[in-house]
Amino acid sequence: MEGLEWKKISAKRFGIKESMIPPEAWNVLHRLRSRGYDVYLVGGCVRDLIMKKTPKDFDIITTADLRQVKDTFLGSAVIVGRRFPICHVHENNSIVEVSSFNTCARGSSGSQIYNSKSQNCSKNDFVRWKNCQRRDFTINGLMFNPYSEKIYDYLGGIEDIKKAKVRTVIPAGTSFQEDCARILRAIRIAARLGFSFPKETAYYVRTLACSVARLDKARILMEMNYMLAYGSAEASLRLLWRFGLLEHLLPFQAAYFSSTRFKRKDKGTNMLLVLFSKLDNFLAPNRPCHNSLWISLLAFHEALARKPCDPLIVATFALAFYLGGDMSLAVDIGKSINRQHDTGFRELLEPKVWTDKHLAGEVQSFAALMKQALTEMTDEYHVANAMAKIPQAPSSDLVFIPLQAYLKVLKFIECVQYGKKERGHEPKRDGMINYHNLSNGTHAEIRNLFTLVVFDTLYPTDTEDENDCSS
């Protein structure tokens, strides 16, 4: 612990400005500080500010205990969690997470007690250092006092940011066995930042990959949503495949990679990765989508992987999806498309000439196949069968997609399958994305972005306007 005073760095060195912190976080910081408590921003938001990236959220740690935090925000704060309780403070339709140094102190073994004679640091340094020791990765073990504009780094987190490494605070094997959810967080962070793992961390991510199947399904869904809904889905899928996690979590997609002989470290691409790359173009950590969108894309691609289609059938399906099941209008628009599709995908057949009736019938047949794929993705028996088809894959019947999301996507598909337009549905006309509605799963937003992603995949264009679907 020697030389801790050298771990205090001016935030100005990284160009961090007051305006980079949202009003909701400032409100919580100001209220707690006005009551005499010390407050810090902590974790991933500090890392992202240093890297000039937009944080997904802003977490705060304070010297107040959680009861005092709750009393400070009467009626707008609730304490959640058992093992590691925190306080959710509701501010302007957003949630600011507040943790307490005191909670960590109560949860510790008591083996490390501050003694000014034995520790070469101040008591405040010791409290901050001890809290950082409980973090998952060094790059998440940073604290920032926005009032003194000082960043505290006791773990070498800034050095690992410079090296672009995701390194565990304690030895990786111990860390991942202590909490296997850290394996998924490691993948998520590496994918989002474009970081790699030190050899030891990489070894244990791969070796302990099977342990993630023991996690609570809600926790798996949360981590997968962070990977696929916040703008780094393509990189996440690549890393999940590379380190042997995809077959545990998304076995149908792992079977697809396996059947196409897509190597674990392959830098090439395929239609599944392109779909999620196009989705990433529209999303960001502060502009996520609802999970029903990425589930729709998984089922859509699985249907195509099982039975390749004429690109006109695929495009018309996407249009019918967007229009809420209005098949006749979808066919009219679809047959007017005169753009060249991407011929590099094995899922797309050579185009044919279709009558309106036959085209509508093929689109409905594709919708039925997508419905089957979705149902099997959420059925333990079929998941277990899919795992059996993957070379060297362990047996598993893990399903983490919740019933509510399944039913939502099913409704989208059945509108097309039965050619029955969703009552009250009005397609978006302005081409703009309402990200608040998108994250909440509003039907019009999900239908709109699904179709934009499919068209961007089918008909690649050099234009920089990602919002232009042309048709």
Of 57, 65, 179, 342, the active-site residue reads 57
Clarify whether 468 is annotated catalytic. Answer: no
Give 120's pLDDT tier (boundaries 50, 70, 90).
low
Using alpha carbons, select from 166, 149, 126, 120 the residue that is nearest to residue 40.
149
Q: For the purposes of burial, counting CB atoms within 10 Å of the CB of 317, is it exposed (0-12), middle (13-18) or buried (19 or more)?
A: buried
Q: Is the pTM of the predicted complex or chain greater than 0.85? A: yes
189 near 160, Cβ under 8 Å? Answer: no
How, if at all, do strands 86-91 and 94-100 pair?
A: antiparallel
Tell whether the model's pLDDT for residue 419 goes beyond 50: yes
- Residue boundaries of the structural domains of the chain: 7-162, 172-268, 275-458
Task: Note the pLDDT tens digit of each residue in 276-334.
Answer: 999 999 999 999 999 999 999 999 999 999 999 999 999 999 999 999 999 999 999 99
Span 205-223, average pLDDT: 94
Task: Note the pLDDT tens digit of each residue in 247-275.
Answer: 999 999 999 999 999 999 999 999 999 99
Of 48, 136, 310, 456, the active-site residue reads 136
| Contacts of residue 169, Cβ cutoff 8 Å, sequence gap at least 6 | 132, 133, 134, 135, 136, 137, 138, 141, 155, 175
Higher pLDDT, 68 or 471: 68
Tell whether the model's pLDDT for residue 243 goes beyond 90: yes
pLDDT given at position 7: 79
Tell me the β-bridge partners of 59. 42
Using alpha carbons, select from 103, 106, 100, 98 the residue that is nearest to residue 77.
98
Clarify whether 57 is annotated catalytic. Answer: yes
Of 59, 153, 280, 310, the active-site residue reads 59
CATH of domain 172-268: 1.10.3090.10
Clarify whether 59 is annotated catalytic. Answer: yes
Using alpha carbons, select from 410, 306, 320 the residue that is nearest to residue 360.
320
Higher pLDDT, 386 or 80: 80
Q: What span, in angstroms and rounded, lies between the C-alpha atoms of 42 and 311? A: 48
Query: Considering only 107-116, 326-335, 431-440, which range has the smallest mean pLDDT?
Result: 107-116
Tell whether the model's pLDDT for residue 381 goes beyond 90: no
Tell whether the model's pLDDT for residue 180 goes beyond 50: yes
Higher pLDDT, 29 or 467: 29
Query: What's the CATH number of domain 7-162, 1.10.3720.10, 3.10.20.740, 3.30.1360.120, 3.30.460.10?
Result: 3.30.460.10
Give 449's pLDDT tier (boundaries 50, 70, 90).
very high
Q: For the purposes of burial, counting CB atoms within 10 Å of the CB of 315, is it exposed (0-12), middle (13-18) or buried (19 or more)?
A: buried
pLDDT given at position 118: 40
Task: Note the pLDDT tens digit of each residue in 2-15.
Answer: 444 457 899 999 99
* Percent of the chain scoring above 70 in pLDDT: 93
